[in-house]
Structure 1
């Protein structure tokens, strides 16, 4: 069983930060002088939304200083450019780190794809009870014990093997339900996640052991891992929920009260707080299901955001709404932060009234350059009808200028992303080639625009030339059917 170690990557973020006690993170990152370093917290563990809570410029000596307030132990992320590392912090603590990274991987758009991450060393040897060390020790031990008793697929583990694992772990670590203790809860629900796989045919037993209580541990990754796995697509899988009534409550009535009444017939959703969180989780999962009305799903989530009795749920519902709609047709979009080769700020207002095709590239992407050969023809063929903008994602502006000088034949618009790494993260740009299409009013039309080498020529032909075609020129599915 492969489990991510603490300093590499923890898969599940924690509850949104509140006012509390100061947390200070300081140290050196000599490989990244003059770069910005950011400290991020995770809003919730259903949408994975992030909020930057502190930032600093790493000075010439490699020093940095970050501080914010935390009310509870929580997972945070440090990022420099596109490189990241995640770890836990505790309120009132000061951390002294040395951060390092492979210099070649540091130049990559997505270093994690190559196993690259910020390597963090703790300079304070007195932190023997640090929660990172404790959880990391538990994870490594659990990994070894699971591999010993169940070296093959964990789904084939027997109850007796699981009992042996619990026995061995229990000799080294506390295994008990302790909802106010972050570390003990992490252990308890990490083991619960394994038991959930073994006893998946007995959900009632799992529910009463792990969920039938007054606490929802929003901030604990192990708990939320268990919760989201247990209730994944639950509204569709539950034998106690009538599928016709479920569809009617969402598609026809769009009524939160009716939806609550329908799903509340399941004994494992009697708890009001659990039921509402499950509704949020499952509405997110149903959004791309063609059998359910998207507008009504958004309306239901908006209702929860505005009217829920639980502050955590109002926040999570708001994040869910933002997450589901951020790449929808008509979503707000801005590239005004980009920079021209002259160094001037890019002004996209001059393109208003026309579709804008954005091609993202860097100077090491040979496929991107090959695509530019096609864009060169398309930019001439549809001149005045659509604007093409190639956006350089080179971390060094000088490389962008050298590229412009080398490829003078590419005479459409070129801009640099101006080292807006937050924007790259928000847009989910991690691999190249990548493209987007904007509406004439400047809003987003397609986050993932037609592929330049195969789909884009047909797409533009239908958009501007095929006036007699009864299909919708901008219907991606229609374009795919005609390939």
Structure 2
């Protein structure tokens, strides 16, 4: 009997997940890696990889994923990304990933393009959200006078917004899709929040009561979480000044989640425990990067939430936040990678252990990083106890090969990133050049590390290497009155 119950439970759990397949065309990205990702949560902004594959030589790709609920996902090829809402009622999507003509190789910023859907049903979540977004854009930007009233926050705009709510409510009332209705509610709510946020405490409380208080937290709905994150943009600055002082004391002196919660519960915006705890996690993430708070205590309170929270979602979000804020801090392990150098040998952090490793990220289109390569050539001859690794971020492998061919005097490890976009994410690369110094045991020594040449009168990595050299090669000193 127990075995039968276990089988039934297992079958029920399987039915909760929907298998979804994407059949895609991306002829402009042949032989490139395409990743299907989604946010683990909208507080830490960590991403989870659903699946990844290579676009084949004909420009085709296929991706499969299992989903428990509707959510927003991304398809990424290099720095180009397209958005896809997963609808559990749609089992297969046929998608065209167009060439991204608005971005160039010389950017490290993600750029969103519009995916083209083939045979998309009119009741699919993507179709409905695209349709609503067009309605919203027309409401905001289709009438210059209305746009002016919005910019000046005139009362007439609020009347127009109320009319728009009624119109949209009627238009989509027959679609029984909870994600859609929450998306619409909080996209409109976000506009209302922007209109009313500077009009005093009365209006702020109206927003809180109408959209957040006593409403279910929609962790996977991007519109809800955008609304939440704007309202609790600076959670520990939201209460009145006397409460803020108690918050600071609870973190810096008492190092206690319980005392922090008690300090905040005197604010009308922290009355509900579940909502309050989520806002506290966000606030602690902000606090870690502020000089007002003890960083060790912030981490300690987050660890307390990750261990003891009543809600599993919050445990996971707190864990993600800890990972986010500790990422690339001194003495944390450096993100792993495995790449081929110019001699076709595999280079990874395991093979580099035992020595300090200096990594620089460069490209053939960035003049500053190319200039620094000349200085690195001198440094690697001077400091033989340092591993030097240069990672080239050119998308076009021919540009990398040409660079290697024209600089065969550079004999240290130089690798191309091989379209492994996770390297950008793992090392938080948003500009070039970027440098990292790794300890012999594989942990971070400096991030960002000093550059090869002094910048704005700052130190150069040469000084750090000199200090390491002294530490490694300590010379015996004569002691006065002692034996030599």
Same fold (TM over 0.5): yes
CA distance 1:49–1:350, shift in 2 (3 Å):
closer
The correspondence for 2:140, drawn from 146, 168, 175, is 146
The correspondence for 2:87, drawn from 68, 86, 90, is 90
CA distance 1:283–1:458, shift in 2 (3 Å):
closer
Who is 1:22 aligned against?
19
Deviations 1:297-316, CA, capped at 9 Å, x for gaps? 11111111111111111111
Deviation of 1:448 (Å): 1.9
The answer to whether the aligner puts 1:337 opposite 2:338 as a matched pair is yes
Who is 1:394 aligned against?
394
Q: Helix, strand or coil: the match of 1:252?
A: helix
The correspondence for 2:117, drawn from 114, 122, 137, is 122
Deviation of 1:280 (Å): 0.3
The answer to whether the aligner puts 1:136 opposite 2:130 as a matched pair is yes
Who is 1:160 aligned against?
156
Deviation of 1:78 (Å): 0.7
Distance 2:211 2:109 in 1: 37
The correspondence for 1:68, drawn from 45, 65, 70, is 65
Who is 2:279 aligned against?
278
Deviations 1:354-386, CA, capped at 9 Å, x for gaps? 432211112233322112222233334x42353
Deviation of 1:294 (Å): 0.7
Who is 2:299 aligned against?
298
Give the alignment of 1:461-480 within 5 angstroms: 462-463=463-464
The correspondence for 2:194, drawn from 197, 216, 223, is 197
Distance 1:175 1:234 in 2: 36
Ranges in structure 1 where 5+ consecutive residues have no aligned partner? 1-17, 468-483
Distance 1:349 1:91 in 2: 42
Alignment length, in residue pairs? 445
Distance 2:16 2:404 in 1: 48
CA distance 1:66–1:306, shift in 2 (3 Å):
same
Deviation of 1:221 (Å): 1.5
Distance 2:50 2:164 in 1: 40
Deviation of 1:197 (Å): 2.2
Who is 2:211 aligned against?
210
* TM-score relative to the length of structure 1: 0.84
CA distance 1:454–1:174, shift in 2 (3 Å):
farther
Give the alignment of 1:440-451 within 5 angstroms: 440-451=440-451
The answer to which of 411-420 and 24-33 deviates more is 411-420
Distance 1:156 1:364 in 2: 43
* TM-score relative to the length of structure 2: 0.83
Deviations 1:114-143, CA, capped at 9 Å, x for gaps? xx5444211115x11222222222222222
Distance 1:61 1:316 in 2: 40
Who is 2:454 aligned against?
454
Conserved 8 A contact 1:138-1:173: no
Conserved 8 A contact 1:179-1:185: no
CA RMSD in angstroms comes to 2.9
Q: Radius of gyration: which is bigger?
A: 2
CA distance 1:143–1:260, shift in 2 (3 Å):
same
The answer to which of 314-323 and 325-334 deviates more is 325-334
Deviation of 1:226 (Å): 1.3
Conserved 8 A contact 1:241-1:265: no
CA distance 1:261–1:438, shift in 2 (3 Å):
same
Who is 1:436 aligned against?
436
Who is 1:101 aligned against?
99
